[in-house]
Chain A
Amino acid sequence: MTNDQNTNGVNNESNVHDTNNGSNVNNVTQLNNGNHISRADHLNHVINSDYTFTISLNGQEFPARPGQRILEVAKEKDLYIPSICYHEYLGSIQSCDTCFVEVNGQLQRACNTEAQPGMIVNSVSPSAKAAQREAMERILSRHELYCTVCDNNNGNCVVHNTAEYFEIEHQKYEFKPKPYPPDNSHPMYRYEPDQCILCGRCVEACQDLQVNETLRIDWQREHPRVIWDDDVLADQSSCVSCGHCVTVCPCNALMEKSMLGEAGYLTGIPKDVLEPMIDLTKEVEPGYREIFAISEMEAAMRKARIKRTKTVCTYCGVGCSFEIWTKDRKILKVEPQLEAPVNGISTCVKGKWGWDFVNSPERLTRPLIRRGDTFVESTWDEALSLIARKLTEIKERDGADSIGYIASSKCTNEENYLFQKFVRAVMGTNNVDNCSRYCQSPATMGLMRTVGLGGDSGTIRDIASAGLVLVIGANPAESHPVLATRVKRAHKLYGQKLAVIDLRRHELATRSDIFIQPKPGTDLIMLSGITKYIIDQGWADEGFIQQRVNGWEEYRASLDKFTLDYTAEACAVERNEIIRLATMIHEAKGVCILWAMGVTQHLGGTDTSTAISNLLLVTGNYGKPGTGAYPLRGHNNVQGACDFGTMPAWFPGYQPVEDTKVREKFEQAWGAKLPEKPGLNNHQMVEAIDKGKLKALYLFGEEMALVDSNINHVDHAFEKLEFFVVQDIFLSKTAQFADVVLPASPSLEKEGTFTNTERRIQRLYQVFEPMGESKPDWQIFQLLANKLGANWNYKHPGEIMAEAASLSPLFAGVNYSRLEGFNSQVWPVKPDGTSTELLYTERFSFPDGKARLLKVDWTPPFEAGAEFDLHLNNGRLLEHFHEGNLTYRVPGIVHKTPQPWVEVSPELAKERNIEDGALIQLTSPYGEVEVRVIVSDTVRGNELYLTMNSTTDRDAVNRLTSSYHDKYTHTPNYKEMGVKMTILEAQGENPLPRVNHRFGNRVPQIGVRVEEKWNRNDYTPIPEFVAKGDENHGESNPPH
């Protein structure tokens, strides 16, 4: 797969504008002429000003801020100026021309003309109206209005609403079809050139917001259209199916296929009836007013049957929220909204399209009880009585600590709260943990011991506004796609610097200004070496350190050994790379460091996380906008599960179970005696089962039998359990070991809240009724607790949150009414409901308010032995969530990415004489897998990358990993394994189909290049057209 995104991507050092179409100089500054302003300037202008002045708009005074454009000034006061291509998230595109207004007597585009004090603007003067009208007429020559039978007629179609505003009765320029068939190749969306108005919103979104750089408009051809890559079918392109283009399309040119024939009352009509109907309507066209009246009525009727529900995505820790449109149990589409606090209109392939699993016929709908070799469906009462009886029996016989409980980072805060309350107050043990143990516990620990709180220091806005983003041991473009878009955008448009330290040349690495590939497992040395160099240069932020940090001298002395030479040699990198990165950190205005499993899943994961925090402290990069530490949480609620107490040593809100006062508070609130000692974590539970100390396990919403490390060992442990309860939506691999399986409901079938990687709490609302007899997890816990005599009576998750907030100072002001709709709260939340988006602005979270520099040393990584000569790296990929239990039930995703693969470097492939598609066996001291090869220069030398999207025994990466772990947190060292390769077939079919985006060919450019439209011979600028007046009339071909 050498024809990866890299080949045509933006090179490290080269200027984005030079990579393609070298002759066509098109950069941001070129847009900057007259009082038309560039995007970069615009961003800075508007954000940084409190000063206001007024302009006269249609005879009234309107307040404006420097840098604001006229259209924005009008929008703020709800004055309507027509505009089609302008979009709040994309800014001014200047392609539709419908926003022309008279500015001091001259016709100008309102979307791109900066408001100036004393400016006199008229949007309804005869010439302004004539200009707007002409623009709209040109648009309608490219778009056929058959609104009533159009699936996009849902009240929010921009073209429809604008045409209606103009009260257009008859078209001046006849609609002319374009000579291109619709592109229906992509499994998730379609492009219909005949309906495309060439506004360029999709291109802007693809090029500059998602920054995948797939879409363009080819302005050179006679009939311009949107093209994918070098004009290939959408399905064959570099499109990552993020859905941005479909979301921003102002009409029906780009549409979700799931909407087609479903949204309207008449749109499901068979084609042989529908087409003559459209012809007839056009033929007898009474004028658009009547058509609009009918289409409006029809749109209103649609509201009765299309339900729009706000939900929060469950596919990673970024916390995207959006509306989901449904008709009965059918999902019509996911529609992101401007007001979504994290993502706005952004989504990734999973969030936009990945929800089919909810209606899968494989969902569990009734409780299952193991009888011999078979699960037998049972009633709830039967299943819960059995669980209550067995748990009581084991507890009475072997003690409360002989049972373990594993919570879910996919489930809600309320469910995690209730579960740990059940475990502690009803079952009397602290043996409760969640899957952060497998990923981010080391990061949490590293932060708690240096700055006091185990969470991101700021929000996605800080990341977007940082001067330098350093990504280490993380692949956000695949694992946190929407967060990565903000980095890519800032880097492409606003001059943000991007540094990447990673084994793999992943997407952000290809885009970075500096990319360092150290030897596996040496990140701590690299970070310490950089920090030492910075200190030696006198670049440490001494003022910050003196005022706000403890432990400086001792820490500084601990760095002695991390000299440039030592670091360069230990990490196998060039000295000058270290110097260059250190210099960039020093020079940057604000540094954010992003990290994930590449750092944490090592023997020294906690220490490396600590080294990251140390570097930030030394350079003063905490407590200011655009700075801080960002351990990117992998699951939607891994933050919340920890926050709400499913951890062996902590009550909700990180209150220690060993603290007598805290315990007394909870004992009083819960009316039960609570255990004093911290319980077992996940890893220790598996060990305790193995040793016969843990007899029973209750687990919900975790696929531990696939995602824990060394799963051969874990599987054996599960087989030894006396009693095992699993609560899930599918019969997962883990559930297959259970004695009782309880059918739970996924996020779309319940209410609750999730906390994302930013510490942001967001509500999700119920879309569907629970399928069959499945139930939301919190209801199941309550039923079981009551079987055991707890007598709980929670009627709604809001009551659970109220209780949790009343007991946890960190969440004091959190409540459901403050979280209505798209509102969110970022903890710590004060009693009055005030969020804390940016941490540590005044003090660090320690009694004396000061941060702590902590000396850490390098732990050499695990060595499997000389015969295991290849290094095994592993992780997620964009299209599938984790192991894929959910996303393999989405046909469109499977079409794109049907199975896992292993990446082999070109040099190793040559040495072993294998090609794309070869089948190899990888063997570690712990197990073996069989998997097909992709030869790729994302990896180098003897380093392999095995993707983790496997739900089968044959190719699951954790057959290979070991049970060694980080010494503080017991997080397994997933990223430290040696394997040997046996070739089973030297050639074979490529594990990725041709339609995977990795085979595409990106075409980077800035925006839609509207200048090329203006330069066309058939384009008459609107002011010119209006000035010419009568001469133009009678022509039948519209100017472009």
Chain B
Amino acid sequence: MAKAIRHIEKATPNPVQEQAASINDLLVSLADSRDALVRFLDILREAEKAGLLDILYGVLKARHEIGYQAINQLNQPSMHHTIKNAMGIVSFLGQVDPNQLQIMLGGISHGLKRASEPPEDGRAPGLWGLAKDLRDPGVSSTLHTAMEFMKGMGEHLRNESHPSPH
């Protein structure tokens, strides 16, 4: 006669045995990763010496608070500008042709060199001298480049203030 029963006597696990089994599992893993662990412990030691672990501990413990503060700091108009500008610059750099930039920068560098050399006769050129310099091929090509640059920039500025159809 076996009546329906519901009571279950759970086998209480022997804590000492369970712990021993877990430790044994751990030892096997440790032995398998000996080299990596020794190196990692070394890094950890250095981090401890440098006080990094303290900082990390603090950050992790207060992660929600810090995340909340940080995101609210970032989510301010001035920060929006900073981030946008930073991204704008990065994006600008992405658009510039490296070869062109190289030539341009080369020119600036060479120009700077010339500019810092003392004039041959030690005097600043007169108006006539300047006019004469305009005929110099170097000067006229730089001026031409600057003119074209201004035209291009002007074109873009005009477009932006009177948007054309998408």
Q: Which residues of A contact B (CB under 8 A)?
A: 172, 269-270, 272-273, 276-277, 279-280, 283-284, 286, 366, 368, 370-371, 373-378, 705, 715, 718-721, 724, 731, 733, 736-739, 1029-1030, 1033-1034
A539 to B83, CA, bound (A): 82
Q: With the chains together, A1034 CA to B6 CA distance in Å? A: 74
Determine whether the beta carbon of A283 is less than 8 Å from that of B75. Answer: yes
- At the interface, is chain A mostly helix, strand, loop or mixed? mixed
Cβ A272 vs Cβ B68 within 8 A: yes
Contacting pair A373 B83 (CB below 8 A): no
When distances are taken between beta carbons in the complex, the residues of chain B under 8 Å from A279 are: 75
Q: Please determine whether A286 and B91 come into contact, CB atoms closer than 8 angstroms.
A: yes
Any chain A CB within 8 A of the CB of B64? yes
Q: CA A1033 – CA B163 in complex, angstroms?
A: 10
With the chains together, A371 CA to B9 CA distance in Å? 10
Contact of B11 among A378, A737, A739 (CB under 8 A): A378
Q: How far is the CB of B60 from chain A (nearest CB, A)?
A: 15
Report yes or no: A737 in contact with B4, Cβ–Cβ below 8 A.
yes
Contact B75 A715 (CB under 8 A): no
Residues of B within 8 Å of A269, CB to CB, are 67
Beta-carbon contact of B71 and A270 below 8 Å: no
Contact between A283 and B64, CB atoms less than 8 A apart: no
Query: Which of A284, A370, A377, A733: most chain B CB closer than 10 A?
Result: A284
In the complex, the answer to whether A720 meets B8 with C-beta atoms within 8 Å is no
| Given contact pairs A279-B75, A283-B80, A366-B11, a sample of 17 additional A-B residue pairs in the complex whose CB atoms are under 8 Å apart | A273-B68, A276-B72, A276-B75, A284-B80, A284-B84, A370-B2, A373-B3, A374-B7, A376-B9, A377-B9, A377-B10, A705-B4, A715-B4, A719-B1, A737-B3, A1033-B166, A1034-B163
B153 within 8 A of A: no
Write out, one digit per residue, whether chain B residues 61-103 have a CB within 8 A of any chain A CB (1) or not (0).
Answer: 0001001100110110000100110010001000000000000
The answer to whether A737 and B8 have CB atoms under 8 Å apart is no
Contacts known (A374-B9, A376-B9, A731-B8); A719 close to B3, Cβ less than 8 A: yes
Chain B residue, CB-CB nearest to A373: B5
Query: Which B residues touch A738, using CB under 8 A?
Result: 2
Check B75–A375 contact: CB distance below 8 A.
no
Q: Are A737 and B2 also in contact (CB < 8 A) when A273-B64, A284-B80 are?
A: yes
Shortest distance in angstroms between A283's beta carbon and chain B's nearest beta carbon?
Answer: 5
Q: List, sorted by A's number, 17 A–B pairs whose CB atoms are closer than 8 Å.
A: A270-B68, A272-B68, A273-B67, A276-B75, A277-B71, A280-B74, A283-B80, A286-B87, A366-B11, A373-B7, A375-B8, A377-B11, A705-B4, A718-B2, A719-B1, A739-B2, A1033-B166
CB within 8 Å of A: which of B96-131?
none
In the complex, what distance in Å separates the CA atom of A738 from the CA atom of B5?
9
Interface size class of B (residues with CB under 8 A): 20 to 34
Residue of A nearest to B84 (CB): A284
| Nearest-CB residue, chain A, relative to B72 | A276
Chain A residues near B166 (CB-CB < 8 A): 172, 1033
- Does the CB pair A736–B4 fall under 8 Å? yes
- In the complex, chain B residues whose CB is within 8 Å of the CB of A370: 2, 5
> Once the chains are docked, how many angstroms separate the CA of A374 from the CA of B6?
7
Instruction: Give the residues in chain B near A283, CB-CB below 8 Å.
Output: 75, 80
Minimal Cβ-Cβ distance residue in B for A269: B67
Chain A CB within 8 A of B165 CB: yes
Please name all residues of chain B whose beta carbon is closer than 8 Å to the beta carbon of A705 when the two chains form the complex.
Answer: 4
Residues of A with C-beta under 8 A to B163: 1034
Cα of A378 to Cα of B91 in the assembled complex, Å: 68
**Which of A280, A370, A1034 has most B Cβ within 10 Å?**
A280
Give Cα distance in the complex from A801 to B5, angstroms.
37
State which of A277, A368, A724, A1033 has its C-beta within 8 Å of the C-beta of B2.
A724
Q: How far is the CB of A492 from chain B (nearest CB, A)?
A: 44
Bound CA span A718–B2, Å: 7
Alpha-carbon distance A286/B91, docked complex (angstroms): 9
CB distance from A232 to the nearest CB of B (A): 37
Given contacts A276-B72, A370-B2, A724-B2, contact A270 B11 (CB under 8 A): no
In the bound complex, what is the Cα–Cα distance between A715 and B75 (angstroms)? 68
Report the Cα distance A1034→B163, complex, angstroms.
9
Contact flag A280-B2 (CB < 8 Å), given A270-B64, A286-B87, A375-B8:
no
In the bound complex, CA of A721 to CA of B3 (Å): 10
A277, A368, A720: the one contacting B1 at CB < 8 Å is A720
For the complex, give the distance between the alpha carbons of A635 and B28 in Å: 46
Give the complex CA separation of A482 and B143 in angstroms: 78
A373 to B11, CA, bound (A): 16
Question: Which of B5, B67, B72, B165 has the most C-beta atoms of chain A within 10 angstroms of its own C-beta?
Answer: B5
Q: Which of B1-53 contact A (CB under 8 A)?
A: 1-11
Known: A283-B80, A376-B11. A273 touches B71 (CB 8 A): yes
In the bound complex, what is the Cα–Cα distance between A739 and B84 (angstroms)? 73
Nearest Cβ distance between residue A127 and chain B, in whole angstroms? Answer: 15
Taking each of B4, B80, B84, which has the highest tally of chain A beta carbons within 10 Å of its own beta carbon? B4
On whether the beta carbons of A719 and B72 are closer than 8 Å, the reply is no
Query: Complex Cα distance A733/B9, Å?
Result: 17
Complex CA–CA separation, A855 to B166 (angstroms):
80
B164 to chain A, nearest CB (A): 9
Contact between B4 and A280, CB atoms less than 8 A apart: no
Q: How far is the CA of A737 from the CA of B6 in the complex (A)?
A: 9
Which 8 A-B residue pairs are closest in the complex by CB-CB distance?
Answer: A377-B11, A736-B4, A276-B75, A1030-B165, A284-B83, A280-B75, A376-B9, A375-B8
Chain A neighbourhood of B64, CB < 8 A: 270, 273
Closest to B88 in A: A286
